[in-house]
């Protein structure tokens, strides 16, 4: 087995690292404090090709592998998870779903501008009564012949007020259960489509998270992705890749907190010597580094399986489960190592700790990941 990155992958990782330091780090504390969406930074990420990394160049994508995407997500998330989640959603959920299952007309109209970074997209699955339970869709898409009439509410939607293209999961045939669900492309500005207030969140506060309301929104039949009733399968297949992105985000949050804690431990003097010379701190750092490396390997394995056309459901869930738990443990320890300084904003680790929690929740909670893993393990 080869554990080395290619020259291209190293260049992409280094470019993301430089961008994070030079463009994301300045102002990240203020954006978090004031819940400011990183508009200019997202625009620059699009120009660098970070918003359509795995999309075929013929659709304005960068044509890169999933491993490169993991590397970029890690580096961006070390500094600003509110920015990296835009990259995650646009790549893993929106662009992937359109490229994999959309028609050529849909790819020309919607995928090309999304992959180029000219605009961003949103994936609309969660509802007030349907988060991890994707089968319980109360948003309806009534078949009206040449169009659907869309009604309902979506919650916790990343890029909610910043997107131009929304992939909306809705129930068309309630009696068919999950076989009656469709996915529709909704454009910003369609009559009857309104955006609710921004959520005031614990972490990733710069992320643009809103509820969306649909009141008799007329969506053309041409905007349905896949066959009639394909929506649930679309959501499940798309979320599998999404878990790799969130695992990489969790990895980056953990790695960022670890690097801050390591540097602080080397510089901070206590009892006449650097903090890092105390064995209790050395053990914390050793555990953090080991767990982060294990999470990184899980992420890259899932990426490798996806890139090589092999089943990756179990690997993606394992990576997401483990990396998100490592993110929480590592950020808590990073605050502890910083002591009182870790509790104030200027040292960054308290923000990383708040950001880490969401990685255990979205793209399926840790409990959901354990269900997915056990289901795969118990297959005949």
Active-site residue numbers?
A: 363
The residues, any chain, with a CB within 8 Å of residue 189's CB and separated by 6 or more, are none
- H helix runs in the chain, sequence order: 7-19, 28-34, 39-47, 66-79, 81-88, 96-101, 104-106, 112-116, 231-267, 279-307, 313-338, 349-358, 366-377
Q: CB pairs under 8 A, 24+ apart, for 170-177? A: 170/137, 170/139, 170/140, 170/141, 170/231, 171/137, 171/138, 171/139, 171/140, 171/141, 172/140, 172/141, 172/142, 172/143, 172/148, 172/228, 172/229, 172/231, 173/229, 174/140, 176/229, 177/135
Q: Residue 164's closest CA among 113, 206, 208?
A: 113
* Six-digit token string for 107: 């790819």
Provide the 10 A C-beta neighbour count for residue 195. 17
Question: In Å, how far from its chain's centre is CA 312?
Answer: 17
CA distances (Å), 160 to each of 75, 150, 197, in order? 24, 17, 10
Residue with tokens 């200019």: 40
**How many whole angstroms separate alpha carbon 238 and alpha carbon 93?**
6
Q: Residue 178 carries which DSSP code?
A: G
Please give the distance of CA 265 from its chain centroid, rounded to a whole number: 31
User: Using CA atoms, how far apart are residues 53 and 72, in angstroms rounded to an integer?
Assistant: 10
Q: How many CA atoms lie within 13 A of 160 on its CB side?
A: 23
Give the containing element (helix H, strand E) for 158.
strand 147-158
Residue 16 sits at the vertex; the CA angle it makes with 11 and 20, to the nearest 5 degrees, is: 150
């Amino acid at each position: 087995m080869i554990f080395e990155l290619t020259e291209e992958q190293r260049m992409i990782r280094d470019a993301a690292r430089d961008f994070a330091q030079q463009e994301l780090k300045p102002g990240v504390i203020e954006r978090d404090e004031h819940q400011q969406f990183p508009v200019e930074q997202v625009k620059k990420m699009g120009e660098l090709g970070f918003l359509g990394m795995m999309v075929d160049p013929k659709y304005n994508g960068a044509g890169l592998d999933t491993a490169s995407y993991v590397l970029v997500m890690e580096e961006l998330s070390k500094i600003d998870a509110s920015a990296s989640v835009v990259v995650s959603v646009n790549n893993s959920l929106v662009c992937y779903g359109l490229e994999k299952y959309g028609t050529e007309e849909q790819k020309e109209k919607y995928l090309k501008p999304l992959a180029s970074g000219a605009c961003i997209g949103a994936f609309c699955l969660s509802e007030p009564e349907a988060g991890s339970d994707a089968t319980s869709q109360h948003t309806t898409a009534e078949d009206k012949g040449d169009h659907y009439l869309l009604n309902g509410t979506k919650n916790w939607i990343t890029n909610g007020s910043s997107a131009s293209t929304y992939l909306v999961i809705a129930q068309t045939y309630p009696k068919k259960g999950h076989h009656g669900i469709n996915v529709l492309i909704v454009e910003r500005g369609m009559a009857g489509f309104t955006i609710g207030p921004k959520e005031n969140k614990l972490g990733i506060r710069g992320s643009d998270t809103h509820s969306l309301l649909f009141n008799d929104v007329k969506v053309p039949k041409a905007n349905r992705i896949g066959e009639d009733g394909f929506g649930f399968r679309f959501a499940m297949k798309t979320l599998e890749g999404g878990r790799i992105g969130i695992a990489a985000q969790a990895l980056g949050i953990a790695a960022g907190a670890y690097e801050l804690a390591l540097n602080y431990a080397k510089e901070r003097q206590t009892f006449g010597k650097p903090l890092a010379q105390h064995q209790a701190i050395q053990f914390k750092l050793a555990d953090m580094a080991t767990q982060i490396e294990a999470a990184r390997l899980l992420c890259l394995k899932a990426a490798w399986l996806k890139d090589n056309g092999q089943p990756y459901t179990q690997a993606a869930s394992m990576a997401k489960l483990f990396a998100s738990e490592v993110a929480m443990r590592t950020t808590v320890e990073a605050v502890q190592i910083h002591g009182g300084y870790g509790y104030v904003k200027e040292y960054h680790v308290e923000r990383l700790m708040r950001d880490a929690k969401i990685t255990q929740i979205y793209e399926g909670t840790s409990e959901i990941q354990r269900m997915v893993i056990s289901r795969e393990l118990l297959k005949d």
